Structure formats: C-alpha cells, structure tokens
Structure 1
Amino acid sequence: MRRPRRATADRPFIVIWEATQACPLACLHCRASARPDRDPQELTSAEAVDLMGQVAEFGRPAPLFVITGGDPFQRPDLTTLVRRGTELGLAVSVSPSGTPTLTRQALRDLRDAGARAISLSLDAADAAAHDGFRGVPGVYELTRRAWDDAASLGLRVQINTTVTRDTVDELPRIAARVREHGAMLWSVFFLVPTGRGRALSSLDAAETEDVLNILYDLGETVPVKTTEAHHFRRVCLQRAVLARRGVPAAEALGLGPLYRRLRRRLDELGLTGLPRRPRRPPLQVSAGNGFVFVSHRGQVHPSGFLPVPAGDVRRERLVDIYREAPLFTALRDPGLLRGRCGACEFRTVCGGSRARAYAVTGDVHAEEPACGYQPGSFPYPDDLAEVLSPAGA
C-alpha cells in the first residue's frame, strides 16, 4: 500500500478541474452528461488562473493538477492555462477527448506549455466497439493516433478504461494493447451510476471481485490501478498474504466464472508467465481524502462522481474548503462508515466508493454496493493484522 507523503487532511494528492462540459462525443457512461456547447457560466480564463493559484496555496510540492472535461480542447485558452499553471509550480496534465481537435500539433503545444502527461480513454480493443461506446465513429482511430503522437513527443500517457457488464470481456485485449504500446498507467474505472452512466449495467459485487483479482494478476505485466474500486486495496493485501502462504487465490477467495473466463483469455493472449515488472501498489487516496474535484462552474466536490458540492472557488478559497468543509472532514473519518464498511477490518485502507454508495443509496457513508466481502471472513486474520499495520501496509 502506498500513502501520500503528506497528510491528506491538510492537502490533496490530486486536484481535478472540469474545465468545460462541452464535448462533441456522446459517451454512454459520461459522468458530466457533456453537451455540444460551452456553458456561459464556466470559469473564465482569469478565474481559472486564480483557481490554479489556489491549488498552489497548498504548498510545495503542489498537488497534481489535471484539466479534464468534457473536452478541454473546446476551450481556446487551454494551452495558455497549462502554461500559467506550470509557471505557478503545478504539475499539469490534461485529459482530452478523442476528437478532431486532438492533433499532433495540439499535443506538441501542450508539451511546450509544460504539460507532463495526458490521459486517453480506450473502452474496447477495436474501432467498432469503442466508437459505439463513445457514440461517434472515428474516435478509436483518433485515440490510437494520439497515443502514438503523445509518446513520440515525450508526453506520458495514461489509458483509462470504463468497466461495465457489456465491456468487461474487452479487458484482456485492452491490457494487451497497453503492454504493446506502452503507458505509464492503465486506470480501470468501475462504473458509478451517475450522469448518463445510470443507463448502463454495472458489474455486481461477485463480478467486481473477479475483475479486481484479474487486475491483480495483471499487476506484474502492466501498470494497473483502479478508479472507484477502492476495495482493490483489500484484494492486494489479501493476495499478498495468500501468496506468502502459497494458497491458491481462486479457491481461497471463492472467485467465480468471470474470473476463470478472463484468466483463460489472459493465458491465450500470452499475458501470463511473462518476465515480471515491479508491481504498482495502490495509492490510499479517495473522495475528499487526498482527492478533490472542481466543476466547470467552480463548485468543489469530493469527486467528480460524487455530485455533492462543499463550496465554490468563486467565493471561498480551495484550501479552506478542502480542509474545513463538513462534507470533506466527514469523508476522512472512517468511524462514520455504516453497514459492512463500518464493521470491516479493511475500512481504514479501503473505505469503499463513497460516490457509488451515494449514487445507489443517497448516503455518502453507506456500505459499498459493489463489494461482497463479509467483514472478518478472511481465513488468516493474524497475517492481516501484520499487513494492515502502518509498517506492513
């Protein structure tokens, strides 16, 4: 387990800014329910620079700063804002959409302005399925080209993949693409039913468990992380104990048919039995606890998937909202978790997706709906006590 070097109650590890909700795509899962045109109430250029100044107020090194959307390239001032953020001492990354604005020259301009990295979305391993998920033909090819262009320009690339019941079987082939083309990170997003994503079919708790264990299996092949699946941290700790004891994970954890199906596909694609790469331990960051999201209108949320505002950067300083807003301080208190999350021995390292709990139940402290773990059921509690200690985790 990795923890941020500085206390997450004092400063976030990462700040995400939704620069605009404008986007020409019609992605089936879109959190923002993006629209074709820019909102006249989105932050102006001057207000955006002020926001970045507020992020810098957290001190050096500043939190990571990611400009997302919508499609950030729908803002004509994007390159200028990247340059100003860099001048303020921020490590700026951009998360563009796969649209015709995503050209090699545009990526070069971002790099020259100081951008460190970009993230690109890949939800299927072929054009037909990916473009169908994104709602517009040609997106797959634009994304593939941008991946190559960014790498050749020296920009680091993160690949984002959204998992639903309809896309889960694409994961092995996407993993193969990530290994083949190279990426600093593959971030697997587990669907939160918010925005347009409410119309999609999520994995159930048992299926989620199967996929999390597949991602663990891939951890020595590709650099993988999860988003809105905080119980991946639990899985990593469980698997470490089982590996040390030489106990087969599929049997000990009762993994199901989805795990076996995906594992066979990994074997067929040659993604198992490869020379090992260093495993990337999961980072202990979650909504309001190391993570903060600022909307296109300046409202501050614990996460982009948790649409509960805690303040507004047009009226308050981000530092004060993050440190003092009741919603943020409550999310940092594991003692407020309810149900199985509140009783779980992993609650201080996991805590579940507060966004999914809110989307499903309306309660940010409710138990994680996509987790089927029964507290206290892991068969090696003494080993867990060791790995859950600050030194072990």
Structure 2
Amino acid sequence: MINITRLWTGSEQPADHLRYGSGHGAGRAAGGAAEGCSPTSSRSRKPIVVWNVTRTCNLRCVHCYADASANKFDGELDWDQCCSVIDDLAEYQVNALLFSGGEPMVHPRFLDLVERATGKGLKVTISTNGTRITPEIAARLKELNTAYVGISLDGIGEVHDQFRGVKGSFEQAVRGFRLCSEAGQKTGLRLTLTRNNVQCMEQILDFIDEQDIQRVCFYHLVPTGRGVEVQTLHPDEARNAMDSLIRRVEQWKSEGKTREVLTVTQPADGIYLLLRQLREGSPRVAETLRLLRWNGGGSNSSGRGIANIDTQGLVHPDQFWQSVTLGCVKNDKFSDIWEARAGAAVDILPELRASDDPLERQKNIQGRCHTCRHFALCGGGFRTRAAFANGHWYGSDPGCYLTDEETQTELPADI
C-alpha cells in the first residue's frame, strides 16, 4: 500500500507507523483505541487480516475475486467458529481486521461480528458495496467504534452500474456514503483501476471532493476470480492515473485538505513517485526514499503484512491468492498458522517469506524484477499477480509499468 498523500506532500496520515515505521500512531499503546505501537521493522509487523465472512452478495461485479453471487454457500463458519477466530485475532494483536465478502452486510450476524471484534479491542474496517447501509446500520457502526467503512465505487453512474451488474447500484452506494457521513462514521472509497473505468478518473476525483470523502484506495487489478476477464491498464494508462492522483493530492494540499489517497497491490507506484520527485528536484526525495526503504513493498506484503481468511475458514497469503492455502481456522488457530506452526504454512511460509535481505531475495526472482535497481524498495511488485502470470511466485510482476530505463535508473548516493 502506497500513501500518495504522505510521500508527495509530507502530510502525516493514519497508520503511517505501520507503513513507514514512524509518524501518525507511533508509540501508542497496543490494544487501545489507537492503532498500536510502531513495529521495529516492516517484516515484524502483525498482519492486517482480510476476512471474507460470506460469499453471498446482492450484486454481481465483473471483477469479483471471490466469484460471489446471490446464492447461499455451504461450509461457511458458524457463530462459535467466528467467535473463536475473533478471539484469537485479538489475542494475537493483528493490526486490523477487515470484514469483506461477498457482501459482508449480507451475513446474518454481521453487526454481532463487528460488536465482538471491536469489543475485543480490534481495529475493524469494512469493505462493502454500500447498497445495504441504512441509517440504523450507519449509526450502529459509529457506536461500535468502527475505524472506517470502505465503500466500493468503480466509476460514475452507468460505468459503476455496469461493473456491479445491477442498475441503480451507483445511487445506492452514494446513499451509503451520505448515511455514514450523517452518522459521523468515517468512510473510505475503494476502487479497482481497469481499462473500463480509468477514463473516469477525473470525475471520480471530483466526486471524492464533492462528497468530502477522507480516504480513498485505488487498487491495481489482480486478475483472479471473475477479474480474469477484465482488462488491466496499459503502462501509459497506469502512469497517467498516477499523475492524476499526484496532481489532485497537490491541489488538495494547497487548499488545506488532507485526504488520504492510497494505491494498493502495486508497490511500483512508490518508485514511479520517487523518480518523478527526483526529476523535478523535489526536496522530499530523501524522505520518500527512507520511507519506501523501510516499507519494503511486495517483500513484506502477501504472507507477511496481509493475510486472508476465506468463507470456508481457509487461510491464504492475501485475499487474491486463493490458490495457496496455508491452513484452516476450523482446525487450527490463525495465529498458529501465521507463525508457521500448523497446517501447510509450516512448509509454505518460510519459502514465501524467504530472506530478510532484499538483495538475497532478489536472486530468486526472475525477469525484469531480477535486475531492477529498485528491488529493495519495491520488493518485486505484487507477488500474487506475478504468481498468476508465471505459475510461480518468483516471477516478475506483469503489472509493473516502469520503463526499462526507469528500472535501471541509479539513485544519487547523496540522498
């Protein structure tokens, strides 16, 4: 996850201490209402856990990695199993718990799940399509100290409706934003960038401004589930999208607005931003380099900083990498699986995490990533996308849009 606002403008943002080892949240007590103490390194961070609590969904999004639908699915965790998972995650002190789906609000005991998790001291976030938010639900989420509600948007108007497979879903999502705002509940916008919606970028940024949305995450497409049929961005489109985000962040900074703008599943965004700062003589180059070096990109993401529990209780390195199963919370505690003490994780996680030395790790990576001068900052991009494209996790990330010249740009020794 790359925080464009922090890296480009220097403005401190929520969870800086988890991404960069310093800044907002640093030094706060673990387990309290704040976000916990800064980890000693990005490799030592407890994970953010994405939990798909149900595969059932009232929409049918064309890029859904979970292949969700309106059907009911057998094998999902019962209430006692859900409670055991929450209790273990709280005791293990994961950095955050993100309820996802399908559509998590379809779960018959959704609010009970949130209540138990926040009651145990977990930082809870929600990924929702926003269509099922009512005034009562928005108020209850605020009452339960939900950190934020991430509502997915994939374009404006008809573009969004086409992505979501249901006419009127855009207006329902907008209503969800409004209801959360009226209840005082922090919301975030979540959007997956594809060739089908990148042309709406400026409209989307205008919408964020008009609705006064404080947090927005732009995901680079990971072609899995139904997403294999969706077109990924061309390199020029990815670069133009980044330039649009940087331009808007700069504008908002000048207007005194401190929106948190992040990109997800593409650590190369950080390198692109750094090289642009270098070309433009930005005084922030040294600080950006320091923050990216601490973060480590893909080396400290899937299987380290992010984890997934799917609807059947299976544990994966992240929510997109469903083909790799580390264990099952029906049989073992998540904490034991993640510490490689149980399940297939005993064999898989040591290989996936490999060496703590980025240069040693790079020796095992193939393709352009093998020779890229910025591997220690980027970690070889998003390893899950590389695994899908190459059939093994140590291939190069095909989503990297840096030019060959940029991958070989040597950074000045004095920064």
What TM-score do you get using the length of structure 2 for normalisation?
A: 0.78
Aligned with 1:77 (options 88, 101, 109):
109
Distance 1:205-1:386 versus aligned 2 partners, 3 A rule:
farther
Aligned with 1:361 (options 361, 385, 390):
390
Q: Report the alpha carbon displacement of residue 48 of structure 1 after superposing the two structures with TM.
A: 1.3
Is residue 52–residue 85 contact of structure 1 (8 Å, CA) maintained in 2? yes
State yes or no: 1:346 paired with 2:383. no
Per the alignment, residue 279 of structure 2 pairs with 242
Whole-angstrom CA distance in 2 between matches of 1:371 and 1:226:
13
State yes or no: 1:143 paired with 2:143. no
State yes or no: 1:49 paired with 2:49. no
- Letter of the 1:292 counterpart: A
Unaligned runs of 5+ in 2: 1-6, 8-18, 22-37, 253-258, 284-290
Whole-angstrom CA distance in 1 between matches of 2:177 and 2:282:
40
Distance 1:218-1:338 versus aligned 2 partners, 3 A rule:
farther
Is residue 299–residue 311 contact of structure 1 (8 Å, CA) maintained in 2? yes
Per the alignment, residue 328 of structure 1 pairs with 349
Q: Report the alpha carbon displacement of residue 38 of structure 1 after superposing the two structures with TM.
A: 2.9
Per the alignment, residue 266 of structure 2 pairs with 229
Unaligned runs of 5+ in 1: 247-280, 388-393
Distance 1:327-1:214 versus aligned 2 partners, 3 A rule:
farther
Is residue 26–residue 136 contact of structure 1 (8 Å, CA) maintained in 2? yes
Higher mean alpha-carbon deviation, 63-72 vs 339-348, is at: 339-348
Whole-angstrom CA distance in 2 between matches of 1:54 and 1:227:
27
Q: Report the alpha carbon displacement of residue 178 of structure 1 after superposing the two structures with TM.
A: 0.8
Q: Report the alpha carbon displacement of residue 187 of structure 1 after superposing the two structures with TM.
A: 0.7
User: Does the residue aligned with 2:20 lie in a helix, a strand or coil?
Assistant: coil
Whole-angstrom CA distance in 2 between matches of 1:300 and 1:76:
22
Whole-angstrom CA distance in 2 between matches of 1:92 and 1:240:
34
Aligned with 1:65 (options 97, 119, 123):
97
- Letter of the 1:108 counterpart: A
Per the alignment, residue 155 of structure 1 pairs with 185
Aligned-residue CA RMSD (Å): 2.3
Percent of aligned pairs sharing the same letter: 28
User: Does the residue aligned with 2:113 lie in a helix, a strand or coil?
Assistant: helix
Is residue 133–residue 179 contact of structure 2 (8 Å, CA) maintained in 1? no
- CA deviation map 1:190-246 (0-9, x unaligned): 111111111111113343233233323333335311121121111122122223269
1:211-222 matched pairs, under 5 angstroms = 211-220=241-250, 221=252, 222=259
- Letter of the 1:339 counterpart: G
- Letter of the 1:162 counterpart: T
Per the alignment, residue 223 of structure 2 pairs with 193
Is residue 10–residue 323 contact of structure 1 (8 Å, CA) maintained in 2? no
- Letter of the 2:75 counterpart: Q
1:86-105 matched pairs, under 5 angstroms = 86-99=118-131, 101-105=132-136
Whole-angstrom CA distance in 1 between matches of 2:374 and 2:176:
39
Whole-angstrom CA distance in 2 between matches of 1:57 and 1:138:
42
- Letter of the 2:153 counterpart: L
Whole-angstrom CA distance in 2 between matches of 1:56 and 1:377:
43
Per the alignment, residue 28 of structure 2 pairs with none
Aligned with 1:19 (options 53, 60, 84):
53
Whole-angstrom CA distance in 1 between matches of 2:160 and 2:282:
41
Distance 1:327-1:183 versus aligned 2 partners, 3 A rule:
farther
- CA deviation map 1:319-369 (0-9, x unaligned): 232232343333334413222213222222212011211222221111010
Q: Report the alpha carbon displacement of residue 16 of structure 1 after superposing the two structures with TM.
A: 0.8
Per the alignment, residue 29 of structure 2 pairs with none
Whole-angstrom CA distance in 2 between matches of 1:216 and 1:234:
13
Higher mean alpha-carbon deviation, 210-219 vs 345-354, is at: 210-219
